[in-house]
Structure 1
Amino acid sequence: MKVYEALARAFQAEGVTDVFGLMGNANMYWWYAMDQAGVNVHPTRHEGTALSMAEGWARATGQVGCCTVTQGPGVTQLGSALTVASRARIPLVVYGGDSVMGALNGLQYIDQRRFVEATETAFVPLFKAEQVNEVVREAFFIARSQSRPVFLNVPRDLQEADYDESLPEYEPSIAMHPEPQKTLPNPDRLRDAARLLAGSKKPVVVVGRGVDADAEGGVKSLAERVGALIATTLPMKGWGNDSPYYVGVAGGFSNRTAVDLFAEADCVLGVGASLNRHTLQDGNLFEHARYVQIDLRPTLIMGNHRAADVYLQGDSLLTVDALNELLEAEGVASRTGFRTPEVKALLKESDPDPREFELEPDTVDPRLAAALVDKALPAEVGTVLGNGHTSGIATINMTKRRDLQWYISAFGCIGQSLPTAIGGAAASPHPVAVIDGDASVLMHINELETAARMGLKLLVVTLNDQAWGAEYQKFSPKNMDTRTAVIPTPDLGAVARAFGCRGALITELEQIEPAVDEFLRGDGPMLLDIRVSKTVASVPYRRVRFGEHI
């Protein structure tokens, strides 16, 4: 047995069923061994997109995603995608080939450790054949326990060395390191938190990505008990929107009604939410509130540069249940708080963006386009939203709650949503739709061929303003020539058809619903090139760039 075969066997023992990657001379034999063992090895057209597809697969399955690249330039192509996955805390293992040991003057040599660690990714090297089991187990343990990407670095010549088959069988990390136990915070701090909540007049519960999946009932019960509004961080948008007191995202994507209500809050309970600068708008939201924060991590400094008044380090499910019990014992049953008929009417009638704009010829209002796409897509269809100016349009105007609903914004770069959605679609039993701008989609539009080859039920909705939208909107309030940020595009529907997908060019709102229906009825991927007007600026940009009070 060769080392690459032993490595492949160890990955299979860890439960790896799907790998995304690009083949090169430093990973080809491992690739071959994985393929021969029946693992689904998905060839992509770029190393960075392979990593993003593995991220999407991990998000959709809850398992460790897997990607493979070759040495040198194969590794450097991962830069942005690795940083995004690191910032988003996605568990991944990258099988990375490296140059021959000692070949420091090789054509493709680079210090891969220095490059990988610069992306905030863990680096686990293999130096000897007998270390195979140890390093693979370490890589998967770090990925699972720390929820982060790990780069397993394997020199090309070592992969082809002989492996001693008398060494012990591989024992997976999940068997040697069981899942961490659930924890309950200090009882004194729980009582302090209960007293603070019981004494509040207008509390708000902010739910973040760290909330336990089974805690929803308890969180809603606690919110009702203290009379709280329910808000979320951006990644959890839509959580709790079946409540008439759901106010949407807390932060830059809040509507005017929510911002005004937040100004009245005297207490904020963060459940699995870091309450970072985006959620608290650098301290400009909830200015008069005291804070209770529930999180598994050690004490955090929030986005207003403060620590919470009461920090509860513990599991969200157990902690929320304990707070409910303490409040019930104190006779706190169903406070009014924010839960009044007046507040309910405000939230029901709230218009996220009432302003009208004069549109360019043969374009549509992107706000209405996003809302129509949201309405036409059934709730079981997952959505993936990218970064940039388009995200502010789509996030505020798409309100339907979906089980798969991702915002790829962890590093603030464009181009990541399409490949991440492809990985999600490869693992999801339901169709997936990605909604993004033209500059972002065009960055990796070649992966439409990958989606077509895989036969994925993927809808790519391009809100195409034929510009770098964010920069266009930044030039405009400074009375600068916006022409610099304008960049025409071809018919992207035709481009999609050339890659083996379905595609349509849309210039009227009435075309959107039939096009979505066509996607749902048919097979394989489809792209909608929706031409939208550059005159429409998103709510977040108009607040920050134009100073509008909206």
Structure 2
Amino acid sequence: MIVAEAVGRTLVRLGADRAFGVVGSGNFHVTGAMVAAGARYVAARHESGAAVMADAYARVSGKLGVVTVHQGCGLTNALTGITEAAKSRTPLIVLAADTPAADLRSNFRVDQDALAHAVGARAERVHGPETAVADTVRACRLAVSGRRTVVLNLPVDVQSRQVPLPLTEPEPEPPRLHRPAPAAEAVAELGRLLMRSRRPVFIAGRGALSGPGPSAGERPAADALRELGAATGALLATSAVARGLFHGDPWSLDVSGGFSSPLAAELISGADLVVGWGCALNKWTTRHGALIAPDASLVQVDLDAEAIGAHRPVTLGIVGDTAATASAVTVFLAGGGGQPAAEDPPADGLRGYRSEELRARIGSELAWNTVPYTDDSTDGNTNGSTDGNTDGNIDPRTLSVRLDGLLPRERVLAVDSGNFMGYPAMFLSVPDEQGFCFTQAFQSIGLGLATAIGAALARPDRLPVAALGDGGALMGVSELETVVRLGLPMAVVVYNDRAYGAEVHHFAGDGADLSTVTFPDTDIAALARGLGYTGVTVRGEDDLEAVASWVDGPRSTPLLVDAKITSTEGSWWLKEAFRAH
């Protein structure tokens, strides 16, 4: 057995059931070894797309992600996707071929360790045939137990060397580690804060989502938070990346931050105690701090001590697992350890922020599709068009509301970055936290389509929906072919404002020349039809009948909707972001 085969087989035994990548000479054998050991290989058209697919697959499936790339240029091509995964703390192995140490003049030679460190990933290496299995196990343990993206460098000269048989390393086992429990005094302090609070709000983030390894088989954090919320009267919200975690709960406020509906923003900003659970509480989640009342207490629970207070000063920081901490506080309160509330709870058992009146308001006013707006759709005039288009454009809110009603509820939604992103992110509902995959940690456009592919493969029982801007769609256009080749019944919706909309609305008021960020209208539907899609151009609501026909039909081809949207002003979330600068 050569080293490449030993590494590939070990990765599969450690739980890697898929590998995404672009195969070159440097990673040909190790990728083939993974396939021979039972993993499915998914070929992307660009390494960045492959990395994003692996990232999304790991997020939605809860399994270890693997992307395999050629040395040098294969790794540099993948860097944007790797950066997104590293910033998101996705358990991901980047299986990167590397040049031989002695080949100092190789065209492919770059400092791959330094590249990994520069984007926030960890660099590991397969050192030789005697340590090949141990090196691979070490990298996987770091990825899973530490929730890290790890670049595992595999020099091509090492790959071909013979591994001593029988293997001297024991058969690798998936890491089995328990996350740390909170300190008893921290549990008591949080319990007392909750008992004194009259308007508590929980905000759950990425750390409250299930993942591979340590939390497997343990109690889901969402259940523990719901139980604690019921005991204390807390309302439940999430960061954008954890959207769907409390879907269906009558006390859920959906997303906290720039995407918050007016009612959600009102209730979060009215809280006297906010608890972040595995949530960074960054400027996006708190609207640059505006959602945290000046006199509110702020508590942060996180596994990473360095994350606590990194974005906002906190009243109390607790190092511990979200589910374990929430359960411990519930037990503490049930035992009478907390201070009694200032008033007895109502006769119906509701307390804290919860009341029957508020339950009714959340049920009728929370969702964005209940918020009144003036429809800006146009009918053959230049209003709302950045390029002088006279064929009509549809309001992105109207488009999103109609699509939400047309597309099946069991869906997995991936949203690219840009001015448009709030419309699909908030107007399109999702069934749970596995129904929303949001690659925004690096805020790069062009990742949405690859994200949808990875998420679709993780949840083949659901309709995958990719929501893209025209800039991001054209940037990631090569992966349109991947969707067709894989036979995915995906709906791709392009919010086409014929511009880089965020820049248009950021600089329009300064009288700046916007020709660098505006473009002629592009027939993206025609491009998609050339690749085998059902391509539909939407300029008004009547055009959406073609979408309904596709949904009702066999869906034998993927669908691409080229929606020509109005863009008279920046989206509401972008206005919030710009107001802070």
- Calculate the TM-score normalised by the size of structure 1: 0.92
Aligned equivalents of 2:372, 2:438: Cα separation in 1: 21
Shift of 1:486: 1.1
Give the total of aligned pairs. Answer: 543
What residue in structure 1 maps to residue 128 of structure 2? 128
Runs of 5+ unmatched residues, structure 1 = none
Q: Determine the C-alpha separation between the residues in 2 that align with 1:235 and 1:513.
A: 32
The alpha carbon displacement at 1:435 in A equals 0.8
Q: Distance in 1 between matches of 2:37 and 2:191?
A: 55
Tell me how far apart the structure 2 counterparts of residues 301 and 321 of structure 1 sit (CA, whole Å): 20
- 1:346, distance to aligned residue in structure 2 (A): 4.3
Contact 2:528 2:534 (C-alpha < 8 Å) held by counterparts: yes
**Amino acid across the alignment from 1:408:** T
Aligned residue number for residue 405 of structure 2: 375
CA deviation profile, 1:483-505 (whole Å, cap 9, x unmatched)? 43211343212211212232211
- Give CA-to-partner distance per residue, 1:491-539, whole Å, 9 cap, x none: 2122112122322111122333541551463124221111111214211
What is residue 526 of structure 1 aligned with on the other side?
559
Aligned pair in 2 of structure 1 residues 166, 344: CA closer, same or farther (>3 Å)? closer
Within a 5 Å distance, the mapping from 1:267-346 to structure 2 comes to 267-287=273-293, 288-298=295-305, 300-302=307-309, 305-307=312-314, 309-330=315-336, 334=349, 336-346=351-361
Give the drift of 1:377: 2.2
Structure 2 equivalent of residue 231 of structure 1: 237
Q: Given that residues 364 and 532 in structure 1 are in contact (C-alpha distance below 8 angstroms), is that contact kept between their aligned partners in structure 2?
A: yes
Tell me if 1:95 matches 2:98: no
In 2 relative to 1, CA 242–404 (structure 1 residues): closer, same or farther, beyond 3 Å? closer
Tell me the equivalent position of 1:409: 440
Using the alignment, how far apart are the partners of 1:383 and 1:335 within structure 2? 34
2:410/2:431 contact within 8 Å kept: no
Amino acid at match of 2:365: E
Q: 1:145 Cα deviation (Å)?
A: 1.0
Letter in 2 for 1:192: E
Secondary structure at the counterpart of residue 106 of structure 1: coil
Match of 1:507 in 2: 539
Counterpart residue number, 2:475: 443
Q: Any residues of structure 2 matched to 1:89-488 within 5 Å, and which? A: 89-168=89-168, 171-174=171-174, 177-178=175-176, 180-211=177-208, 214-287=220-293, 288-298=295-305, 300-302=307-309, 305-307=312-314, 309-330=315-336, 334=349, 336-347=351-362, 348-349=364-365, 351-352=370-371, 354-357=373-376, 359=378, 360=384, 361-402=391-432, 403-429=434-460, 430-488=462-520
Equivalents in 2 of 1:32, 1:247: separation in Å? 47
Give me the whole-angstrom Cα distance separating, in 2, the residues matched to 1:352 and 1:99: 57
Further displaced range: 223-232 or 89-98: 223-232
Hey, what's the Cα distance between the residues in 2 that align with 1:109 and 1:182? 39
Mapped partners of 2:238, 2:281: distance in 1: 10
Percent identical pairs in the alignment equals 30
Equivalent residue number for residue 50 of structure 1: 50
CA contact (8 A) 2:130 2:163 kept: yes
SS at match of 2:182: coil
How far apart are the structure 2 equivalents of 1:217 and 1:100? 50
CA distance in 2, matches of 1:231, 1:33: 44
Letter in 1 for 2:139: A
In the TM superposition, what is the alpha-carbon distance from 1:225 to its structure 2 partner?
A: 3.1
Task: Tell me which protein shows more helix as a share of its residues.
Answer: 1
CA 1:500–1:134: 2 relative to 1, 3 Å = same
What is the CA deviation profile of residues 398-455 of structure 1, one whole-angstrom value per residue up to 9, with x for unaligned ones? 2443332111101011111111211221232222111121111111111111111111
Instruction: Give the 5 Å matches for 1:72-91.
Output: 72-91=72-91
**In the alignment, residue 543 of structure 1 is paired with which amino acid?**
E
Matching residue's letter, 1:504:
V
Deviation string 1:450-473 (CA, Å, 9 cap, x unpaired) is 111111122211111111111111
Q: 1:302 to 1:523 in 2, by over 3 A?
A: farther
Residues 175-220 of structure 1, C-alpha deviations (whole Å, 9 max, x = no match): xx42x22443222222221111111122112122222652434423
RMSD of the alignment, in Å? 2.4
Q: CA deviation at 1:241?
A: 4.2
Separation in 2, partners of 1:322, 1:14: 32
| Separation in 1, partners of 2:514, 2:407 | 34
Aligned partner letter, 1:294 = V
8 Å Cα contact 1:372-1:513 kept in structure 2: no
Compared CA separation, residues 117 and 327, structure 1 to 2 (3 A): same
What residue identity is the alignment partner of 2:15? Answer: G
Give the secondary-structure state (helix, strand or coil) at the position aligned to 1:435: strand
